[in-house]
Amino acid sequence: MSWGFERGRVYNRRADIHNRFEGQQQGGIITPKQYPLVLIITGEEGLSHGYADRQRPDGVFEYFGEGQTGNMSLQKGNKAVATHSAEGKSLLLFRKAREGLIFEDEMVYETHHIERAPDSHGNERDAIVFELRPLSAIVETVESTEDDVPATNLDELRRRAYSAAGIFPPERVAGFRNVYLRSEDVRAYVLGRAKGCCEGCKTAAPFFRKDGSPYLEPHHIRRVSDGGPDDPAFVIALCPNCHRRVHAGSDGTSYNAMLLTSMVTIEPKFEDEPVAESA
């Protein structure tokens, strides 16, 4: 569920989107003024022009920007897609079908490229193609506990993690790191930050990994993409007990809210916001 939208369910553009959030009633990119939301619709225009949004085998969804004729520019709706994370907005993908709009997933902008594609008059022009990934895939990468944590000093891990959150411009980190690699940076930093103790119950990790490092699990305190899905201020290192408590405990939601509050001291740059969402 994202903003009340359920994956695979059909919604009516007027009743379920415009009556709730307002926003442009035409076109494939909707940017409601009053809500931190960018809604994009696939299958809207491209097909009739001879090109189509597409799913890449590596998990990236390629989404063509808006603009009827001439070269597309990174303005208006296109700019909203490219900057949604930095602006703290959720990016919701819908697929146009005969029965309405099917909610696909909450996405995260990774990058974009320019491609030659026909405009509405059939003339070749520069089209902006956004490369998006599902937010859930990124959360899973950060929370996955399979990989060993690389032994690097904490300051370096922190620098990398903050570049993932957009606090440092990406150019300042060696090379371009896609959202998966950035998630790994955050994961490594958060585990390093914990220094072997659960950041929930403060007790030592219950056992060590095969490589000798303390076993803790990164947990997303909230899954919304505010500030970037891999913002270290929203990821906490938990022992398996605390992690299961959040997900399966009868007090999981309130425990998660308590963890969110405690981030003020755990990750001092964190600016408190009232919305907590159990992952």
Binding site for Zn ion (CB under 5 A): 198, 200-201, 239, 242
CB of 109 to Zn ion, least distance (A): 34
Structure tokens belonging to residue 94: 């819908």
Which is nearer to Zn ion, 112 or 219 (by Cβ)?
219
CB of 271 to Zn ion, least distance (A): 25
Backbone angles phi, psi at 120, to 5 degrees: -70, -15
Instruction: Supply angle C-alpha 53, 57, 63, rounded to 5.
Output: 20
Which of 59, 51, 77 lies closest to 138, judged by CA? 59
Which is nearer to Zn ion, 192 or 200 (by Cβ)?
200
Structure tokens belonging to residue 152: 């690097």
CB of 219 to Zn ion, least distance (A): 10
Which is nearer to Zn ion, 149 or 198 (by Cβ)?
198
Which of 205, 213, 103, 96 lies closest to 148, judged by CA? 213
Cα separation, 219 vs 206, in Å, equals 17
Which is nearer to Zn ion, 218 or 229 (by Cβ)?
218
Which is nearer to Zn ion, 72 or 238 (by Cβ)?
238
CB of 243 to Zn ion, least distance (A): 8
CB of 202 to Zn ion, least distance (A): 7
Question: Which helix H or strand E contains 54, and what residues bound it?
Answer: strand 54-55
What separation in angstroms does the CA of 56 have from each of 12, 34, 122, 173? 28, 33, 25, 26
CB of 242 to Zn ion, least distance (A): 3
Say whether 276 sits in a helix, a strand or coil. Answer: coil
Which is nearer to Zn ion, 47 or 258 (by Cβ)?
258
DSSP annotation of 269 reads T
Cα separation, 183 vs 229, in Å, equals 8
CB of 214 to Zn ion, least distance (A): 12
Which is nearer to Zn ion, 59 or 206 (by Cβ)?
206
Cα separation, 11 vs 102, in Å, equals 6
Structure tokens belonging to residue 129: 């193609």
